[in-house]
Amino acid sequence: MWQIIAESVKSANHPLNQDSKKYFIPKDKEYVVVAIADGHGSKKCFRSNVGSEFAVEVLINIFRQHFSSNTFDNLQAGFSGIKDNLAKTIHRQWMEKVRNHLAKNPFSFEEELIDVKVLNNQVISYGTTLLGALITKNYIIYLQLGDGDILVVKDNEVTRPIPKDENLIANETYSLCDKEADSLFRFYYQPVIGQLPDLILLSTDGYSNSFPNDNEFQKTALDYNNLYKEEGMSFIRKNISGWLKDTTVHGSGDDLTTILVFKTSDNESATKRETDNTN
Amino acid sequence: MNQLLKEKQIIPIDGKDSCLVERFLGSGGQGEVYRVSIQGKPYALKWYFPKQATSEQKASLEYLIRIGAPNNKFLWPKFLLTNPKNNTFGYIMPLRLPQYKGINDLMRRRVEPTFKALAIAGVHLANSFSKLHANGLCYRDISFGNLFFDPITGDIQICDNDNITTNGDPLVTVLGTPRFTAPEIVRGEAHPSRDTDLFSLAVLLHYMLFVHHPLEGEQEAKIHAFDLPAMTKLYGKNPVYIYDPKNTTNRPVAGIHDNAIAFWKTYPTFIKQLFIRAFTVGLKPNGRIMEIEWRDSMARMYDSLIYCRCGAENFHDATEYETTGKTTVCWSCHKPTILPPRLKIGKNLIMINVDTLIFPFHVDPSISCEFSDPVAKVNQHPQNKSLWGFQNLSKDKWTVISNEGAITEVLPGKNVSLINGIKINFGKTEGVIIV
Residues B280-321 have pLDDT tens digits of 999 999 999 999 999 999 999 999 999 999 999 999 999 999
Q: Which chain A residues are within 8 Å of B179, Cβ to Cβ?
A: 81, 84
**How much is the pLDDT for B30?**
84
Distance of residue B370 Cα from the nearest chain A Cα, in angstroms? 31
Of B1, B51, B178, the CB nearest to A81: B178
**How much is the pLDDT for A272?**
44
Of B49, B225, B227, the CB nearest to A193: B49
Q: Which chain B residues are within 8 Å of A190, Cβ to Cβ?
A: 1, 3, 27
**How much is the pLDDT for B400?**
95
Task: Please give the mean pLDDT across all residues of chain B.
Answer: 92
> To the nearest whole percent, how much of chain A has pLDDT over 90?
65
Dump pLDDT digits (tens) for B342-390.
999 998 999 999 999 999 999 998 998 889 999 999 998 888 888 899 9
Please give the full DSSP string across B196-222, using - where no structure is assigned.
HHHHHHHHHHHHHHHSS-TT-SHHHHT
Of B50, B110, B175, the CB nearest to A77: B175
Dump pLDDT digits (tens) for B327-344.
999 999 999 999 999 999
Whether A89 and B226 lie within 8 Å, measured CB to CB: yes
> pLDDT grade, residue A274 (50/70/90)?
very low
Which residue range is the domain that position A235 belongs to?
2-278
Dump pLDDT digits (tens) for A22-58.
999 998 888 999 999 999 988 899 999 999 999 999 9
Instruction: Name the architecture of domain B10-93.
Output: 2-Layer Sandwich (3.30)
Of B49, B141, B227, the CB nearest to A77: B141
Dump pLDDT digits (tens) for B3-23.
889 889 999 887 778 899 999
Q: Which helix (H) or strand (E) holds B20?
A: strand B17-27
Average pLDDT over residues B93-110: 88
**How much is the pLDDT for B22?**
95
Residue type, B295: R
> pLDDT grade, residue B178 (50/70/90)?
confident
- Contact yes or no for B288/B278 (Cβ under 8 A): yes
> To the nearest whole percent, how much of chain A has pLDDT over 70?
90
A275 or B147, which is more confident? B147
* CATH code that applies to domain B341-435: 2.60.200
Residue type, B258: D
Average pLDDT over residues B134-160: 89
Q: Is the pLDDT of residue B199 over 50?
A: yes
Q: Which chain B residues are within 8 Å of A194, Cβ to Cβ?
A: 3
Residues of chain B whose C-beta is under 8 A from some C-beta in A?
1, 3-4, 27-30, 49-52, 104, 107-108, 110, 141, 143-145, 160, 163, 173-180, 223-228, 231, 255
- Contact yes or no for B152/B117 (Cβ under 8 A): yes
Interface probe with B: pick from A66, A84, A165, A178, most Cβ of B within 10 Å: A84
**How much is the pLDDT for B175?**
61
Q: Is the pLDDT of residue A273 over 70?
A: no
**How much is the pLDDT for A9?**
94
- Contact yes or no for B346/B298 (Cβ under 8 A): no
Whether B226 and A152 lie within 8 Å, measured CB to CB: no
A96 touches chain B (CB under 8 A): yes
A84 touches chain B (CB under 8 A): yes
Q: Which chain B residues are within 8 Å of A180, Cβ to Cβ?
A: 108
Buried b (16+ CB within 10 A) or exposed e, B113-131: bebbbbbbbbbbbbbbbbb
Q: Is the pLDDT of residue A59 over 90?
A: yes
* CATH code that applies to domain B101-296: 1.10.510.10
Task: For residue A188, give the nearest of A79, A82, A262 by alpha carbon.
Answer: A79
**How much is the pLDDT for A190?**
87
> pLDDT grade, residue B171 (50/70/90)?
low
Whether A191 and B51 lie within 8 Å, measured CB to CB: yes
| Neighbour count for residue B25 (Cβ, 10 Å) | 16
Q: How many domains does chain A have?
A: 1
**Closest-CA residue in chain A for B48?**
A76
Please tell me whether residue B400 adopts helix, strand or coil conformation.
strand
Average pLDDT over residues A228-235: 94
**How much is the pLDDT for A232?**
92
Q: Where are the domains of chain B?
A: 10-93, 101-296, 341-435
A68 or B113, which is more confident? B113
CATH number at residue A103: 3.60.40.10
B431 or B160, which is more confident? B431
Buried b (16+ CB within 10 A) or exposed e, B248-278: eebbbbeebbebbbeebebbbeebbebbbbb
